[in-house]
Structure 1
Amino acid sequence: MNKYIVMGGIFFLFLLADRVCPAVVEDVDVKATDRGVVVSITTDATSYREVRVSDPPRIVIDFPGTECSVDKNRIDVGKWDLIAVRAGQFETGVTRVVLDLKRASEYNIQKTKTGFEVLLVGEKKIGTEKKKKEIKIEKPKWEETFGYSTRRRRDPFRALVGWASEEDTLPDVRNAQVVGIVWSPEEKYALIQASDGEVYILEEGDRVRGGKVSKIGKKNVVFTLWELGRTERLTLRIKEKESR
């Protein structure tokens, strides 16, 4: 029985000591570090409540079960994003520390050996949008003219409608003669005299009636012709000069 009475008395003394000797907020200090602005709060309190207020921007930190014994109730800063730091007895058993800000800032609170630290790490981006960069396109102050030689090819600036009728204007090589060849590794041209007597200057890839020029050799010209779904190779040799 006496044992329980003693234990109850000890528990009562602990409760009484907690009421008689509350925790104390002793000091508030502000300093700049390479991490950001640090507000140091010296206290033996073990817990806190924080609230972010937007209008005007400020951070409110309450320490329940404490008494305020700071020397200065207000520290004017006026640098970085911090206007001032205020500390005081908000109500019985609650010490309040307020950080007045120029604008909403990111922060974090961490426990230290002597109390707590509030680290302001910069502006808080709220609802920011990337500005669209306006691009101005200026009209060129010069004009350039390009030329294109069809050389009996289809004119690329003419409509495709009616292109089939141009087939009749192409040289007919089935009864043609090779009257000359200009040949080098870089340039290859063939002079073809068609059945109508007209002479055409052709190079590899040029179109002829019903086909194209496939290859120009030193002494002959090879054509690929298409007719009724069949492919035919026609080789014309250069016309030799008649000996007297």
Structure 2
Amino acid sequence: MRPGALRDGLRLSFGTLTLLPVRAPTVVDRDAAAVAMTAALLPGALLGLAVGATTALLLALGLAPLPVGFVAVGVGVLLTRFLHLDGLADTADGLTAGHTPERALEVMHRGDVGPAGATVLVLVLAGQATAVAAVAGAGHPWWAVVGLLTLAWAGSRAVLALLTAVGTRPAQRSGLGAGVLGSVPRSVCWAPAALLGALGLLGAGWPAALAVVAGLVAAAGLAVHAHRRLGGLTGDVLGAGVEVALLAALAVLTAL
């Protein structure tokens, strides 16, 4: 790894995955991309901490769990500049359009939201919000609520290391996905999720660890389907993987 790659990768990770005003990387190359994707759980944890703190505060003010869930998810969305939701909608539209990879990619590049994209956006966001509401209304102490939601958001970003591991290939030569796909060494692509799973197991038991696993499985399943359909992955698919992983992780956490 070149000197400065760690600094550039962290800047790339936080600057891309959050709206924090971090400095731009000095150099964006494969080394920086590998660090950014491997470290994606860190900005994810920061987002989850903000979502968890919002949830705990609103509950303390006496709001009902369901509206708290929708507000909390909205905070998470705002702190990412709607980045992954755009990818989720475009991926849904592309994977349901036509029969050829070229047609699917064309639909994904158009920028508008079709019926499939709109439907998936509503269902995924509603699912995330109701799951947060279930976690919030389960009677956990406030610090446990914050911890569980931090785990879910961090876990949903940890999947990016797996989805961009060496061997994954882009469906197109340009775009954010092309710059990061295939950059993370296979020896470390599982490390972020394994770390979070171990922390979840120690802190809250098997359901917390299974939440991380569920997020990985959901994102990997989407990636495999998209790879077959498109001939590779795109930045939109990576964003969709994050949102699907978050929904799966939150759904499992409702069992706690």
| Structure 2 length-normalised TM | 0.18
Select the structure with the greater relative contact order (CA < 8 A; seq sep ≥ 6): 2
Structure holding more helix per residue: 2
Structure holding more strand per residue: 1
| Structure 1 length-normalised TM | 0.19
